Amino acid sequence: MNIELSENYSFEEYRSLFYRILDEKKLNKTSERFHILRAIYDTDGHFTVNTLYNKLKSKKYQVSKTTIYNTLSLLESFYLIEKHNFGGSCAQYEKCDTSTSHDHIIIIDTDEIIEFKNEKLNLLIKEIEDTYKLKVARRAFTLFCHKK
């Protein structure tokens, strides 16, 4: 399934895509999965399993961490979310935006995450695609830095 997402998609579009995935995989459309999807959609920036779990718990939703992990894995497999391993003890996730790409700077001293876009880097990737006759499906460029 080829999915094009942008940061402007509505929750109904996001939910519709997810439900198509569940139908394709012959999985149930449970309220737990719906609540997880809603919490992700309502989250700006990066999140962890724990922050998602706490957000759901604060709204009195009964969702296990296992269900969260399984749902995140499913969403990741269809590029609705992206998983990042920036070091530390847990993975970070974010919603995918296939219309534009961005990269990350991690400030090691504070664990701050800075998202950035760089046209020169985009041009380099385009040059690599042209040279090797490839189409980049996903990319991950992360700089780990100390503050000066």
Assess contact for 8 and 97: CB atoms under 8 A.
no
d(CA 106, CA 84): 11
Average pLDDT (61-70) is 95
For residue 140, the model assigns a pLDDT of: 86
Q: Which residues contact 126 (CB under 8 A, 6 or more apart)?
A: none
What phi, psi does 80 have (nearest 5°)?
-85, -25
Please name each of the domains of the chain with its CATH number: 11-95 (1.10.10.10), 103-145 (3.30.1490.190)
Helical ranges in 4-82 per DSSP H: 11-25, 31-41, 49-58, 65-77
- According to DSSP, the residues that pair with 143 across neighbouring strands are 105
Q: Which residues contact 78 (CB under 8 A, 6 or more apart)?
A: 1, 3, 17, 21
* pLDDT tier for residue 21 given thresholds of 50, 70 and 90: confident
For residue 104, the model assigns a pLDDT of: 92
